[in-house]
Amino acid sequence: MIAKSKKIKIENSAEAWELGKLGSELKHARAVDKKIGAQIDAALGLQMISIRLEQELIESYKLLGAKYDMGYQPLMREALKRFVEGEFKLIASEALEKQRAEKQKSSKRMAKAA
């Protein structure tokens, strides 16, 4: 005899949604309307792009995405953001160092002139 599985009713609360007790089953998922999708992208400041990458690189991102429990595309977006932030910090650091060097040079000239 096959036992019937008991359905457990989960209270509809913000906490249930946040914990993934509600809304995480794939059978209930459906694609969002294109207009709504465009509004979401606009609200988040996202723009779709097309880029060609080596298959091996994509597979590596998929493996890392599984490790960090996120999709490979959001992981790529995060990696790109980190790269840009790092480059901006490097540029700012170089500019600050150049400014310090010029200030020291100027101070030495003023000391010589006095």
Q: Summarize pLDDT for 6-37 with one digit per residue, the tens.
A: 777 777 888 888 888 887 888 878 888 999 99
* Structural domain boundaries, residue 86: 14-113
pLDDT of residue 101: 93
Q: Pick from 12, 29, 30: which is nearest to 21 by CA?
A: 12
The reply to whether 94 falls in a domain is yes
pLDDT range class, residue 2, cuts 50, 70, 90: low
Q: Is residue 1 included in any domain, yes or no? A: no
- Alpha-carbon gap, residue 53 to 92, rounded angstroms: 30
Residue 29 lies in a domain: yes
Q: Mention every residue, 6+ apart, whose C-beta is less than 8 A from residue 3.
A: none
Most confidently predicted of 28-37, 65-74, 100-109: 65-74
Indicate the number of domains in the chain: 1
**Do the domain assignments include residue 65?**
yes
Cα gap 95→88, rounded to integer Å: 10
The answer to whether position 9 is within a domain reads no
Residue 41 in domain: yes
Torsion angle in degrees (nearest 10) through CA of 34, 38, 41, 43: -130
